[in-house]
Amino acid sequence: MIELHHGEPDADTLKLLIALHELGLPFTSRYVDTAKLEQWSAAHRRLAPQGQVPVLVDEGEIMNEGAFALQYLAEAYGARRLAPRAARLWYEVQAWNARVDAALGPTVSLLGWTRATSAAERTAYRTALAEVSGRERPAGWFAVLADAEASEDQLANARERIGEMLAEIERALDGAAWLVGGDYSIADINAFAYLHTLPRLLPERCHAGATPRVLDWLARSGARPAVRTALATRRAPADRDAYAPPG
């Protein structure tokens, strides 16, 4: 039996939800309200000591690193699809995911969190988060994300990094339907989980004039039944659906 402990369908949760539905795997959904800091409850910390969300549990095996949980699903159950059989293509899928996670994970979250919340909300959340005992302090980009406010320079840097990744994906889709090997895979799932918000979040970078192939790929990805089902799990208002609080 598979369980998924998750919050709103932000990027890390969305990619696992899509994969589970694409693979037709039955699973039990365990909702974690990260806005109320439920990821730091004693029950959840038994699964994820540092409050990670989402957490995939398969037959008692706990996976609290979303990137590796996505690879696990593709390898364990991907005989049906999502995992290329050729070793070289599997390498390319993992390389894409590593680049996308590094470039878009913190930056899209930073822009989304700043756009979707007020300064007062961010300050209140940061204050509550600081009171959680036993929590490791974040580093790097994630320290910026956990701050009440980001500077305009930090936001501009985030937009630049997102723009560079958009350009890379636009080039990769020249003459190709999907990112790796001509078939839909977890590379597409992973990238979609971050990029589907960008026409709204960053329209000056993601629009028909600059990224027509990305927009076509987003439309085709978004039309897949598994993607529609995963996105339909949102509980928050639509303008906050992809913006998880920093944790």
Q: Where are the alpha helices (DSSP H) in the chain?
A: 11-22, 42-45, 66-77, 87-116, 119-130, 141-146, 152-172, 186-195, 198-201, 212-222, 225-231
197-239 pLDDT, tens per residue? Answer: 999 999 999 999 999 999 999 999 999 999 999 999 988 776 6
61-73 pLDDT, tens per residue? Answer: 999 999 999 999 9
Amino acid at 243: Y
100-118 pLDDT, tens per residue? Answer: 999 999 999 889 888 888 8
Pair 57, 94 in one domain: no
Pair 67, 144 in one domain: no
Rounded distance between C-alpha atoms, residue 1 and residue 150, angstroms: 41
Structure tokens at 196: 């589907």
Reported pTM: 0.93
Asked, for residue 244, whether it belongs to a domain, the answer is no
User: In the block, which residue shows the tokens 């988060």?
Assistant: 129
Q: Please name which of 202, 175, 169 lies closest in space to residue 187, comparing C-alpha atoms.
A: 169
Which CATH number goes with the domain that contains 55?
3.40.30.10
Domain end: 52, 77, 102, which one?
77
> Domain containing 219: what range?
87-224
Angle at 10 between CA 94 and CA 16, to 5 degrees: 45
Answer for the pair 36, 51: CB distance below 8 angstroms, yes or no.
no
Asked, for residue 233, whether it belongs to a domain, the answer is no
Looking at the structure of the chain, the number of domains it has is: 2
Asked, for residue 229, whether it belongs to a domain, the answer is no
Pair 146, 49 in one domain: no
15-41 pLDDT, tens per residue? Answer: 999 999 999 999 999 999 988 899 999
Asked, for residue 168, whether it belongs to a domain, the answer is yes
Buried b (16+ CB within 10 A) or exposed e, 158-167: bbebbbebbe
Domain end: 20, 52, 77, which one?
77
Query: Of 143-152, 153-162, 202-211, 234-243, where does mean pLDDT reach its minimum?
Result: 234-243
Pair 150, 65 in one domain: no
Which CATH number goes with the domain that contains 178?
1.20.1050.10
